[in-house]
């Protein structure tokens, strides 16, 4: 299900959001990060290996959809050691700095228009808010000024599985005390978020691909949801 008009709002008791590419635009953030990375490593060419570490981390994760590991949080770094030639602690240091810490200062300016208003509208209607991301999300949400009732990532010990496995979505629904059919999942990647929701038996929407300055996905969704509740 990927059309806003298909959503039966009177049956929805929670909306669960993906984060990257769903709550904020990645293209704008990536431009800012590219500039910072180039400036940093232009002055430190002896550290260029760190750029390869970042690339390897993304590639290794992307080629393991649905990965099931007993300790996924640490396994994702072990995948990038290049047969032990790069220490795991070095990989963690680089990834945490450039993927989980440094970008947060830019997130607020990259949040999609209408996101905060939609969150507020959901709360006014008594609809719970959940977060399910393949990556850690608590610090990102704080940087964007957004809050949720439940925040879960694939690397949490309760999950330990990447999308499109449905484990994370099912766990969020359980924590919210709801059936999957009572939740709506919003993501940006059909091949991951869409399939994840389908496997969980949960209705879902895929964020429209629109230029940032013309992005109205959440405004339209808020209007539709508000109208639905008024007419019920």
Confidence band, pLDDT 50/70/90 cuts, at residue 82: confident
- CA nearest neighbour of 215 among 111, 74, 63: 111
Among 89, 92, 75, smallest CA distance to 161 is for: 75
**Mean pLDDT across 5-19:** 90
Domain with CATH 3.40.50.1000 in the chain: 4-25+112-231
Looking at residue 4, its pLDDT comes to 56
Is the Cα torsion angle 169, 175, 181, 187 positive or negative in sign?
Answer: negative
Angle of helix 88-95 relative to helix 49-62, nearest 10 degrees, comes to 90
* Residue 231 in this model has a pLDDT that exceeds 60: no
pLDDT, one tens digit per residue, over 120-177 is 999 999 999 999 999 999 999 999 999 999 999 999 999 999 999 999 999 999 999 9
Contact 166, 196 (CB under 8 A): yes
In tens, the pLDDT along 200-227 reads 999 999 999 899 999 999 999 999 888 8
Determine the topology of domain 4-25+112-231 in CATH: Rossmann fold (3.40.50)
Please say whether the beta carbons of 131 and 17 come within 8 A: yes
């Amino acid at each position: 299900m990927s059309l806003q008009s298909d959503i039966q709002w009177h049956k929805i008791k929670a909306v669960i959001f993906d984060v990257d590419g769903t709550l904020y635009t990645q293209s704008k953030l990536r431009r800012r990060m590219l500039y910072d990375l180039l400036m940093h490593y232009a002055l430190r060419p002896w550290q260029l290996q760190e750029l390869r570490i970042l690339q390897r981390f993304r590639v290794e994760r992307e080629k393991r959809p649905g990965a099931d590991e007993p300790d996924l949080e640490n396994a994702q770094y072990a995948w990038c050691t290049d047969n032990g030639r790069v220490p795991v602690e070095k990989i963690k240091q680089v990834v945490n700095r450039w993927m989980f810490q440094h970008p947060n200062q830019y997130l607020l300016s990259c949040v999609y228009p209408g996101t905060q208003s939609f969150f507020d509208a959901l709360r006014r209607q008594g609809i719970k808010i959940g977060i399910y991301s393949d990556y850690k999300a608590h610090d990102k949400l704080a940087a964007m000024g957004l809050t949720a009732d439940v925040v879960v990532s694939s690397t949490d010990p309760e999950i330990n599985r990447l999308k499109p496995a449905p484990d994370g979505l099912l766990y969020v629904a359980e924590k919210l005390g709801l059936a999957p059919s009572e939740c709506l999942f919003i993501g940006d990647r059909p091949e991951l978020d869409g399939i994840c929701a389908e496997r969980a038996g949960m209705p879902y929407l895929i964020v429209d691909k629109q230029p940032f300055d013309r992005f109205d996905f959440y405004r339209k969704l808020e209007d539709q949801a508000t109208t639905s509740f008024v007419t019920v």
